[in-house]
């Protein structure tokens, strides 16, 4: 049974970001399934993957915001840092033998939806404009293509 369902209202309109968010939703559901099967090792693996993936997603998102010169990128990064500290506390508690799966799922679900619909929506306009400008800059694009693909 699915714990969290992706809704179109959660889309930012930035395809790569939406796909990353959807992957986080999938991992929350994987955590739920591992819990249902009472597989401690599977729960541990999903928690580790969730944390690692979320960290890389945050880094990617922060880079997009900085490249777009989004005026609130430092504040957004601070929100990410606070969330990471909180999730790290759950990981530590889990490693010490505490069953934190339900609490972690609840936190991740509430936080993710709130963050996407409230915090992430604020940077979308800046990032999309920057992405559009980069794609229109034929000199930049052709130079990048030559560097990466010869």
Task: Answer yes or no: is 132 a known binding residue.
Answer: no
Residue 21 known to bind ligand: yes
> Quick one: tokens of 113?
């939806």
CA nearest to 87, candidates 114, 121, 112: 112
- Residue 32, annotated as binding a ligand: no
Q: Is residue 15 a known part of a binding site? A: no
As a dihedral over the C-alpha atoms of residue 12, residue 16, residue 21, residue 25, rounded to 10 degrees, the angle is 130
| Helix residue ranges per DSSP H, the chain | 15-36, 40-67, 73-95, 101-114, 121-136, 138-149
| Residue 61 is labelled as binding a ligand | yes
**Annotated binding residues:** 21, 57, 61, 76, 80, 115, 120
**Annotated binding residues for Fe cation:** 21, 57, 61, 76, 80, 115, 120
């Amino acid at each position: 049974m699915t714990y969290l369902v992706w809704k179109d209202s959660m889309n930012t309109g930035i395809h790569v970001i939406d796909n990353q968010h959807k992957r986080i939703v999938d991992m929350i559901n994987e955590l739920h399934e591992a819990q249902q099967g009472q597989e401690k090792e599977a729960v541990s693996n999903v928690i580790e993957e969730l944390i690692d993936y979320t960290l890389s997603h945050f880094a990617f998102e922060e880079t997009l915001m900085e490249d777009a010169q989004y005026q609130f990128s430092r504040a957004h990064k601070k929100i990410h840092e606070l969330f990471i500290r909180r999730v790290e506390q759950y990981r530590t508690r889990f490693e010490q033998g505490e069953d934190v799966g339900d609490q972690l799922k609840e936190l991740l679900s509430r936080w993710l939806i709130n963050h996407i619909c409230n915090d992430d929506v604020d940077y979308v306009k800046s990032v999309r404009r920057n992405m559009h400008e980069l794609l229109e800059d034929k000199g930049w694009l052709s130079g990048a293509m030559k560097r990466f693909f010869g």
